[in-house]
Amino acid sequence: MAITLVNPSGLPEIDAYRQVSIATGSKLVFVAGQVAWDADGVTVGEGDLAAQVERCYLNIATALAEAGASFDDVAKLTVYVVDWTPAKMPLLMEGITRASAKLGAAPVPPASLLGVAALDVPEHLVEVEATAVID
């Protein structure tokens, strides 16, 4: 495996992700920000943040698979949430948990969470992008 995830001593341990990823692979995979579209470009889970987060993660898994990768190879995630407030964290985590159950993996690479004013279309509440490293 090209990625090792760690929580260094001296930094807080976060349940939702690890603070550091150490990449030893030789091939980088950059996945464009994924929104809650199905294969036909129809928005999934309109108005439902958890459903949209789940779909974003599943879409990332589909993109990674095309490159011969999986969430085990992800070095970094960036999550953009429209009108972010801490009160939305349970819905974000619910979507990640549901995606994890479907994927059979817990995506816990280092992640950044950014609140944004809007995304590409008004129905989209979240966008997630990924960087992976594979051998």
**DSSP secondary structure of the chain:** --EEEE--TTS---TT--SEEEE--SEEEEEEEE-SB-TTSPBSSTT-HHHHHHHHHHHHHHHHHHTT--GGGEEEEEEEEET--GGGHHHHHHHHHHHHHHHTS---S-EEEEEES--SSTT--EEEEEEEEE-
The CB density around residue 96, as the number of other CB atoms within 10 Å, is: 24
Q: Is the model's pLDDT at 1 over the cut of 80?
A: no
For the segment 74-133, what is each residue's pLDDT rounded down to a tens digit?
A: 999 999 999 999 999 999 999 999 999 999 987 788 999 999 999 999 999 999 999 999
pTM: 0.90
